Structure formats: structure tokens, C-alpha cells
């Protein structure tokens, strides 16, 4: 299925997700991510503010603060995206596209400053490839030559598809994909087109 059709189909399915189902799916996915060794050893993590029933990240934010981690959130500046340090959800306000962003206080941070980056998406496949909203903000941001972070795609399980997503040269693959039901570690991942193995967790 072409990317555009798949994007439209999955966006509609996600928007139709009921609130209770969204809460449960988000909770399970976040617990799966918090159990990752890659999360536990990270000192600085980058999250996102959910929009249109994306998997929530509030539990991860709370756990990260409790563990003394630094937390960054994205902000769109023209055609580019930066990260900014936050002190809590109160640091966020509506920004570009109506999505919550950190206030423009303090320095901007680039992709090389995070140890783990949690990336939203419309769809992911078992090899870590991602379909975003088509704007390319994350793909451009993650091209930073000093990038050292573990890249983790976070989604509802219906967004994790079996068919290989057609890739472009500039696309950045995830190293781990986490849903409410599965955690997939991309085998031998070097952010290239590789195979993956998954482990199943509790569902709803």
C-alpha cells in the first residue's frame, strides 16, 4: 500500500480510538518503554507531546523526573525542529500545528545531546522504518552527524505493521519499536535496513 494511503488509513484508525482504549494502550506502551535497559541507563531523554491520540508520554516524563533524568521536548522553528529542556508539563504551550511545545526559554538543544529519543509516528514496521506526517521534521533533525541516542519508536500496536514500509534515502530507522503489546529490538541495528526480533508483552 502506498505511504499516503497507509498514513490516511492509520490516522483515521487512531483518531477513532476511544479515550479508555487510548489510556490503556498508552499506559502499557509506556510501561514497556520504562522497562528498557536503554531507557534506564539514559541520563537525558527526548519525548514528544501527543496529538490526535498518539501514545501518551506523561508517565515516562514523571518517571524520568523522579529518576533525575533531563528531559527534552521538540519545538518547530520554521522548517526545522529543536529540543528544549522542560521542567514539567507546565513548561509546554500550544505551538506549531497546535501541538504542545516547550516555551522558548533557555538554549535550544540538538539531537546529539540526548541519550534516548522517543519518536512518534503514524506507522512503524518490524525493521524500524517509520511513516510520519510527511513534513520530515524528525528525519531532518535525526541527520545530525553527532547523533548517539538510542532511537525508540512508540505507538499503539495496530500502528506496528507487518509489511515493509517503503524507505527513502533520507529516512532514519528506529533501533527499537515499542507498542502496548510488543517490544521489537532491531537486530544488528545501525539505523539501516536490518531485520528485527520481537518479544510480546501483555495486551488488552
pLDDT of residue 196: 47
Can you tell me whether residue 62 is helix, strand or coil?
helix
pLDDT band at 169 (very low <50, low <70, confident <90, very high): low
C-alpha to C-alpha distance for 17 and 37, rounded to whole angstroms? 30
Most confidently modeled of 7-21, 71-85, 91-105, 189-203?
7-21
pLDDT of residue 4: 83
* Predicted TM-score (pTM) of this structure: 0.85
> Torsion angle, CA of 133/123/61/22, rounded to 10 degrees?
100
pLDDT of residue 64: 96
Q: What is the CATH number of the domain that holds 117?
A: 3.40.50.10420
C-alpha to C-alpha distance for 154 and 47, rounded to whole angstroms? 10
C-alpha to C-alpha distance for 185 and 175, rounded to whole angstroms? 6
Dihedral sign, Cα of residue 15, residue 168, residue 38, residue 102: negative
pLDDT band at 190 (very low <50, low <70, confident <90, very high): very low
- Rounded to a whole number of angstroms, the distance between the first and last alpha carbons of the chain is 28
Cell numbers linked to 64:
524520568
Predicted confidence (pLDDT) per residue in 137-154, tens digit:
888 888 888 889 999 999
Predicted confidence (pLDDT) per residue in 32-61, tens digit:
999 999 999 999 999 999 999 999 999 999
Secondary structure element (H or E) that encloses residue 182, with its range: strand 182-186
Q: Tally the domains of the chain.
A: 1
Q: For the residues of 65-134, what is the DSSP string, one character each?
A: HHTT-EEEEEEEETTEEEEEE-SSGGGEEE-GGG-EEE-S-S--B-GGG-SEEEE--SEEETTS-EE--S
The domain containing residue 130 runs over which residues?
Answer: 3-200
Of all residues in the chain, what percent carry a pLDDT higher than 90? 53
Amino acid at each position: 500500500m502506498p505511504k499516503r494511503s497507509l498514513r490516511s488509513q492509520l490516522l483515521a484508525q487512531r483518531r477513532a480510538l476511544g479515550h479508555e482504549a487510548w489510556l490503556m494502550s498508552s499506559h502499557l506502551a509506556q510501561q514497556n518503554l520504562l522497562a528498557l535497559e536503554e531507557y534506564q541507563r539514559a541520563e537525558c531523554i527526548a519525548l514528544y507531546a501527543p496529538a490526535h491520540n498518539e501514545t501518551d508520554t506523561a508517565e515516562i516524563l514523571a518517571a524520568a523526573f523522579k529518576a533525575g533524568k533531563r528531559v527534552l521536548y521538540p519545538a518547530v522553528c520554521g522548517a526545522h525542529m529543536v529540543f528544549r529542556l522542560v521542567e514539567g508539563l507546565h513548561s509546554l504551550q500550544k505551538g506549531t500545528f497546535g501541538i504542545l511545545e516547550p516555551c522558548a526559554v533557555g538554549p535550544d538543544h540538538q539531537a546529539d545531546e540526548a541519550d534516548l529519543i522517543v519518536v512518534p509516528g503514524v506507522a512503524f514496521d518490524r525493521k524500524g522504518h517509520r511513516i510520519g506526517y510527511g513534513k520530515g521534521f524528525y528525519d531532518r533533525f535525526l541527520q545530525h552527524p553527532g547523533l548517539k541516542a538510542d532511537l525508540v519508536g512508540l505507538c499503539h500496536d495496530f500502528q506496528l505493521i507487518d509489511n515493509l514500509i517503503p524507505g527513502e534515502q533520507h529516512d532514519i530507522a528506529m533501533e527499537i519499536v515499542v507498542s502496548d503489546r510488543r517490544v521489537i529490538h532491531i537486530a544488528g541495528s545501525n539505523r539501516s535496513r536490518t531485520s528485527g526480533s520481537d518479544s510480546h508483552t501483555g495486551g488488552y
